Structure 1
Amino acid sequence: MSSLTQGAIILVIAMVLFLSGMPIAFALAITAIISVLLFLGTAQFDLFGMMVFDSLNDFGLLAIPLFVLMGNLFGGSTASRQLFEAGEAWLSRVKGGLAMSSVLASSVFAALTGSSPATAAAIGRVAVPEMAQRGYSSRIATGAIAAGGTLGILIPPSVTLILYGIAAEQSIGQLFAGGIVPGIVITVMFCVWIFIASRLEERRSRRPDALPLHGVKEYVAKHYTWPERFVSLAKVLPFGLLVFAVLFVLYRGIATPSEAAAVGVVLVMALIGIGYRGLRGRDLIKVLLETTNQSTMILMITAFSAVIAVVLSFLRVPQDLAALVTEMEVNRWVVMIVINVVLLVMGLFLPPVSIVVMVTPVLLPMIIALGFDPIWFGVIVTINMEMGLITPPVGLNLFVLKGIAPHVPLKEILIGATPYVGVLAVAILLFSVFPQGITWLPQLLYGGG
């Protein structure tokens, strides 16, 4: 039996378990156990425990629960409201400005948390009711929040980029640097689409035969004086300083990603305690429990995905797949298109964490053999994973929005979020044509690609 056939068998086992509806971590665990027994033999089953331990015995993984804690601390405070109000003060009189301010607030919040669901939930709780009061349709409102929340896995610190860096044995600092420019560009692209969608919606509402959109009423722009705008900006200045402090100690080589995450947690706790009235005891316990649950889920997925990756590597599946592709003499961009389509399909059913940990060891030898930069590829994969967060049936951000806005039909949320999938596809195309948009900053900061 060829290695590729053995790899296909493992894939089929995993997909059957995923589609059964059981938690992803357990499906991966069962797949890993069956793979070890099937291809390594019962005599080697003790290796399973060793592989699980070795996959988690990595200091770099400590950054994950720390960054998750940092995000949950912000989500439990008044931070999200402060960010949204600052964006509203500066953009409320622009067509679609309130939705744009939601995206901008999401981008800043994403830089503080690294979590897309946390970003969508924290900003959405504040922004969706505000936009409903100001006459925004539910499509514009929920679509902007769902899409803005996806920035959490791209703008550093990003759990997805951390896991890719560990799986691909690439510099997490370079990956973080590579995500900054795309994060800014995609934020701007989201705002441009919001402006276009708002204009189209306005024209549609003026047609005599137009049907009313869900949640639309007369729009009333709130007026802010210039002093009020600058005061709102001053309130969010500590957030910017916090992001700068965490990234500074990381990029200057003062601290590892895990140490930088620890610095971030300490600064967040100090900032919330001093400037944002802190968290009550009950809220703090809730934050700690949520952090424990989320971190445990991520690390379980990481551990069992790593076991599967070790088995695949032992069977030489990645190496033989890379050799097969290079021998086919197919244009490397055709291969990249196929990879992105496969990742998009996987994103319809699986969370980004599990996809990144599973596919990176398999795809990386092929990517390097085709001459692609692994830092560039890591960011492209992450942008692709953003699509999965806003596409059914498992689009996590869609269900987060449904949870915080139960009065809005899921169909309306889906219609509002779908155009942003196209925006992200355009972003992938853009950074494929101009890869320097990703690689320039890592090369500037680290002197290499």
Structure 2
Amino acid sequence: MSAQRVFVARLAGCLVFDPVGDRVGKVRDVVVVYREGGSPRVVGLVVEIPGKRRVFVSITRITSIGAGQVITTGLINVRRFEPRAGEVRVIAEILGRQVRFRDGSGTATIEDIAITQAPSGLWNVTQLFVRRPKTSASPFAKGATQFTTWAEVQEADASAGDPQSAEQLIATYADLKPADLAISLLELPEERRVEVAAELPDERLADALEEMQEQDQVELLRALDDERVADVLDQMQPDDAADLIAQLPEDDREHLLQLMQPEEAEDVRMLLNYAPNSAGGLMTTEPVIMSADATVAEALALIRREELAPALAAAVFLTLPPYEPPTGRFLGVVHYQRMLRHPPHERLGALVDQGLEAVHVDASIAEVSRTLASYNLVSVPVVDDGDRLVGVVTIDDILDHLLPDDWRSRDEEDAALKRSAAAHTGSINIVGNQAARSGSAGIRR
């Protein structure tokens, strides 16, 4: 490896390849250990491999870093990364920290860290890119930036409520999908996780919470103040918010409902009235509902909204007024694909799927699943005793209940991941159970 300097924030997301050019994964973080009398030393990278698993790749397995890519020797241990004592992740735990200059000139925030390869082949932290506190009251002003060395600063004890402390880490999460964001949050140390969650926008945190197990949801929300929790619940899908609130004690449940927006709280209250394993307990109350006189053009304009989930955008549900659940009498479903085959001025009432019947609000998961499977649907309407549309059950709602409670956990996927990694990376030698039998198991470095 040739001597070079690499900035960690720019390294995040870079592709990792094996010696023959097959893709291994993406860099998600850099792992360092602190040393007395010197700057931290790099011990490896956290790499996301196929299967969304984050694994440790020792720096001794890295042959090249640069030009937007990382080259490895091809030997990867697919066991999920867990920090060892003394190991610190740069992006997750150092960027955004406050430091104090040893010469007494004030404080600054770490925005990036440069790592440089020594003649020995090892990598060390050599420079910090920091930002001083702003000196102007203008909301557009920013503090001055500068480069400094590790020896010139010492880490300050920043308060957990400091909004600047999580800013850099949140920026690295900007391109993550909700499921990946949820995994990234859960991998953070508890204090750091709460700090980042406190600074995430309400909608972004809501998206991540929807991808977590209910126990993880509750533990994270308990660390936030009640008003913030209510704001996040307002941004969640009503069925997900209801599932979360149902895990709380009765007093806490009612208190949060009182703090939520009245319209959002009303939907959640309605869902809480149904058995968790019924169509009513599974459904969402926010389908696209229109009148039979509406046109194809009007329907397409509604379902192309970016914030609408794909499963909800696959069909429009027709009812008599009112058009908010519980609606007037349910009339039928018009599928997106059928709308595409008709002119924009065509009335939706003429395009109803005559062969599809709604399920009752008390229908079991098995009945709803059979309806979805029988008609090749991604959503099915739910009606009450008065034949009024009260919501729809989508395919993801069913999967959440049919899969094991710990389906989001990566701990049980070793065998599948080894097969997946081998299929995707060709010549990579995956260290796993087979390696254990040959005596190489347990060697992470």
Normalised by the length of structure 1, the TM-score is 0.21
For the pair shown, which has the larger CA radius of gyration, 1 or 2? Answer: 2
Greater RCO structure (CA 8 Å; 6+ sep): 1
Could you say which structure has the higher strand fraction?
A: 2
Normalised by the length of structure 2, the TM-score is 0.21
Could you say which structure has the higher helix fraction?
A: 1
